[in-house]
Amino acid sequence: MTQNSIELDSIADRWARDPTALLQILREAQEIEGWLPPSTLSHLARLLGLPRARVEGVAGFYSFLHLERAGRYRVLFSDSITDRMAGNLALLDHFCKSLWLEQGKASGDGLVLADTTSCTGMCDQGPAILVNGWAVPRMTRDRIDQIVELIRTRTPVEDWPSELFRIEDNIHRSDIVLGSSLEPGEAIRAAITPALRDGQTAASDSGPRATLEAIKRSNLCGRGGAGFSTGFKWEACRRAPGEMHYVVCNADEGEPGTFKDRVLLTRYADLLFEGMTVCAYVTGARKGFLYLRGEYRHLLSPLEDVLVRRRAAGLLGEQICGHPGLGFDIEIHLGAGAYVCGEESALIESLEGKRGVPRNRPPYPVTHGYLQQPTTVNNVETFCAAALIALRGGEWYRNIGTARSAGTKVLSVSGDCARPGLYEYPFGVAVGQVLEDCGAQRTQAVQISGPSGTCIDSTEFGRRIAFEDLPTAGAFMVFDETRDIFEVARNFTHFFAHESCGFCTPCRVGTTLLRNIMDKIHRGKGSQHELNQIFRLSRLLESASHCGLGSTACNPLLDTIKRFRPTYERRLESLEFEPAFDLDGALDRARTIAGRAESGEHPGADR
Ligand SMILES: Cc1cc2nc3c(=O)[nH]c(=O)nc-3n(C[C@H](O)[C@H](O)[C@H](O)COP(=O)(O)O)c2cc1C
Ligand code: SF4
């Protein structure tokens, strides 16, 4: 037996040779050699009793898993628009030149690979990089030189100065969530003794039902983007028949410009786990998962430590808080670089050890989720808010915010402002207020809720952050007058083309075409024809995409063409028709291959 196979055996054993843990096993297996050689895939397939093609198919799906030699040091430069604005490409170029590298190719000696990656959730302290999965923020030329030297001297990453990995929380405005200071167990105890809440008497109400009523009364809506009622979701899951119920926390936070969950997970893990446990109590779940995005690898062991502490304190495991009916525990799964896995059904597929391809819906996760069992999926911030509601009641919560948007929203503010970071406001805050608070000046545009959200211009800064006006999963990206909004939109089209999972043709082909069109306009080769194509593609993507990624991919273009049309037009070679590509022909062929009608037979997306 080779050393490698002994290590692989022990990794697989630690995960009980469970095929649903395939992604976790592959991730750990990759740490042995920095990539996944064919022999490793074959060995794991044997150990888990899976077809080798399945193992390779899963490994090939995730961008942080490497099927080719990737270098002892894998250095990925975050390529969010705010990283671009902070000069990430010049730093990448400097890094590559210093080490005689070609971007995207491992060096001949197998030492280094340098490339870009989608936003790593450090927009408040970019440009950021990942080194072998570990986040290094605030890159400068000096820090690049320091890293080049560490690589030249072949210093193991675990021996690099800890200062390089220091991540700031940057909380600038707190309200009920960021200002909370719950004792561990406080919300769970309130949930299991409902008389303490809302001034009710508990005589006729069982604990879970009263807690559910409080969540429903609170009017809490999901903070992950879709804004679905949390109370209705929990109720549907509670009612759904199944052998097991599950709770899943969506900590994938892949939307460029969003980083509030990173801070909640860093500082408020107890509040989050408390919310998940309250959800388990209400829905009857005994097992929970935290799906943590791979870019937040640095949070894995601190979060594991919190879970250990909570188990020791009787806040996880059997008879939580001494309650005989409450047994629940949480397992953390790490993602591996796939934005689409934030979509809840793709996330569940990924949790099951599969490629993160969104499922057909209905059925929805509340009835057929993890292993086809009833599953509640909520965002990190939603669970944090739910814990507060369990303690302080639904009435208290719904009195904060606006009539249709209860509670507060934590915003991730980045871009052209003096104080990027986290700002928590009651719903209804005006965009202009946020701009003032974060020290933004001469602002030209704000991108609300990331590339899939809305871009507004300075005439709209009186609009409000609320489900009834500007809903947001959290991102608030500021662009001042010096920025070229066309380039912002172009960066977003590259993001969608890169992150499309390729499952459905309209999105796979459409996002690539959009990217090519934007690149063509960027090169000064576009015409009115290209703008028309964008509108046609947007109709196709919106109506025929299988999930929200495809259906929102055109948003940044439509918004910016509407509000910043001159930035497009001054790049156009002519306003005359100039076909560069037969779109209909391409799509017809693709539709025929995929056996899909033009109108699309897919259910709508969730945002
Ligand atoms: C492409 C795509 C990416 C998504 N990414 C996230 C994410 O990173 N985090 C998140 O909470 N929800 C994300 N969502 C929304 C989830 O599908 C789901 O609605 C959410 O996790 C439900 O939780 P909530 O009700 O608490 O918002 C994404 C949706 C789509 C279509
Ligand atoms: S819309 Fe895009 S991301 Fe969603 S399933 Fe289709 S190809 Fe995948």
For residue 69, pLDDT over 80 is answered with yes
The tokens of 9 are what?
Answer: 């055996």
For the segment 542-588, what is each residue's pLDDT rounded down to a tens digit?
999 999 999 999 999 999 999 999 999 999 876 665 555 555 666 66
pLDDT of residue 587: 61
pLDDT of residue 204: 42
pLDDT of residue 486: 97
Q: What would you report as the CA-atom Rg of the chain, rounded to the nearest whole angstrom?
A: 24
* CA atoms of 76 and 114, how far apart (whole Å): 6
Structural contact between residues 136 and 129, judged by C-beta atoms closer than 8 angstroms: yes
For the segment 18-66, what is each residue's pLDDT rounded down to a tens digit?
999 999 999 999 999 999 999 999 999 999 999 999 999 999 999 999 9
pLDDT of residue 606: 45
Structural contact between residues 415 and 479, judged by C-beta atoms closer than 8 angstroms: yes
Confidence class for position 84, pLDDT limits 50, 70, 90? very high
> What's the N-to-C CA distance of the chain in angstroms?
50
Q: Which residue has the higher pLDDT, 196 or 458?
A: 458
pLDDT of residue 3: 75
The pTM (predicted TM-score) of the whole model is: 0.93
Cα-to-centroid distance, 540 and ligand 2 (Å): 13
Q: Is 294 in the pocket of ligand 2 (CB under 6 A)?
A: no
- Smallest CA-to-CA distance from 182 within 409, 385, 470 is with 385
Burial class (CB in 10 A: 0-12, 13-18, 19+), 464: middle
Confidence class for position 275, pLDDT limits 50, 70, 90? very high
The tokens of 195 are what?
Answer: 């008389």
For residue 176, pLDDT over 90 is answered with yes
Classify the C-alpha dihedral 9-13-19-22 as positive or negative.
negative
Confidence class for position 325, pLDDT limits 50, 70, 90? confident
Cα-to-centroid distance, 62 and ligand 1 (Å): 18
Mean pLDDT of all residues belonging to the chain: 93
Residues with C-beta less than 6 Å from any ligand 1 atom: 222-226, 228, 250, 252-255, 340, 342-344, 377-379, 382, 547-549, 605-607
For the segment 184-241, what is each residue's pLDDT rounded down to a tens digit?
999 999 999 855 555 554 444 458 999 999 999 999 999 998 899 999 999 999 999 9
The tokens of 593 are what?
Answer: 């291959």
DSSP 57: H
Residue 472: partners with Cβ closer than 8 Å, 6 or more residues away: 409, 411, 448, 449, 453, 465
Structural contact between residues 98 and 148, judged by C-beta atoms closer than 8 angstroms: yes
For residue 415, pLDDT over 90 is answered with yes
Average pLDDT over residues 241-250: 98
For residue 607, pLDDT over 60 is answered with no
Classify the C-alpha dihedral 471-468-567-436 as positive or negative.
negative
pLDDT of residue 581: 54
Cα-to-centroid distance, 252 and ligand 1 (Å): 8
Cα-to-centroid distance, 569 and ligand 1 (Å): 35
DSSP 353: T
Residue type for position 299: L
* CA atoms of 87 and 83, how far apart (whole Å): 6
Strand pairing class (443-448; 475-480) = antiparallel
The tokens of 307 are what?
Answer: 């879970």
Q: Where are the alpha helices (DSSP H) in 379-527?
A: 380-392, 394-398, 431-437, 485-499, 505-522
| HSE-CB for 257 with a 13 A CA cutoff | 30
| HSE-CB for 309 with a 13 A CA cutoff | 12
* CA atoms of 171 and 264, how far apart (whole Å): 10
φ, ψ of residue 331 to 5 degrees: the values are -120, 145
For the segment 468-527, what is each residue's pLDDT rounded down to a tens digit?
999 999 999 999 999 999 999 999 999 999 999 999 999 999 999 999 999 999 999 999
pLDDT of residue 198: 54
Query: How far is CA 284 from its chain centroid?
Result: 27
Average pLDDT over residues 74-79: 98
Cα dist. 566→343, 486, 572 in Å?
A: 34, 9, 10
Confidence class for position 402, pLDDT limits 50, 70, 90? very high
* CA atoms of 445 and 448, how far apart (whole Å): 10
Structural contact between residues 110 and 71, judged by C-beta atoms closer than 8 angstroms: yes
For the segment 419-434, what is each residue's pLDDT rounded down to a tens digit?
999 999 999 999 999 9
Q: Within 10 Å of residue 118's Cβ, how many Cβ atoms?
A: 22
Q: Is 508 in the pocket of ligand 2 (CB under 6 A)?
A: yes
Cα dist. 190→41, 82, 284, 412, 550 in Å?
A: 48, 42, 17, 30, 42
Cα-to-centroid distance, 22 and ligand 2 (Å): 22
Q: Is 359 in the pocket of ligand 2 (CB under 6 A)?
A: no
Q: Is 61 in the pocket of ligand 2 (CB under 6 A)?
A: no
φ, ψ of residue 116 to 5 degrees: the values are -100, 160
pLDDT of residue 577: 55
Average pLDDT over residues 170-175: 98
* CA atoms of 219 and 228, how far apart (whole Å): 10
Structural contact between residues 174 and 424, judged by C-beta atoms closer than 8 angstroms: yes
Cα-to-centroid distance, 456 and ligand 2 (Å): 26
* CA atoms of 600 and 591, how far apart (whole Å): 10
φ, ψ of residue 225 to 5 degrees: the values are 135, -45
Strand pairing class (421-426; 408-415) = antiparallel
Average pLDDT over residues 280-298: 98
- Report the atom number in ligand 2 closest to the C-alpha of 503: 7
- Smallest CA-to-CA distance from 84 within 496, 522, 415, 474 is with 415
* CA atoms of 527 and 461, how far apart (whole Å): 32
Structural contact between residues 207 and 192, judged by C-beta atoms closer than 8 angstroms: yes
* CA atoms of 350 and 21, how far apart (whole Å): 9
User: Which residue's C-alpha comes closest to atom 8 of ligand 2?
Assistant: 501
Nearest ligand to the CA of 501 is 2
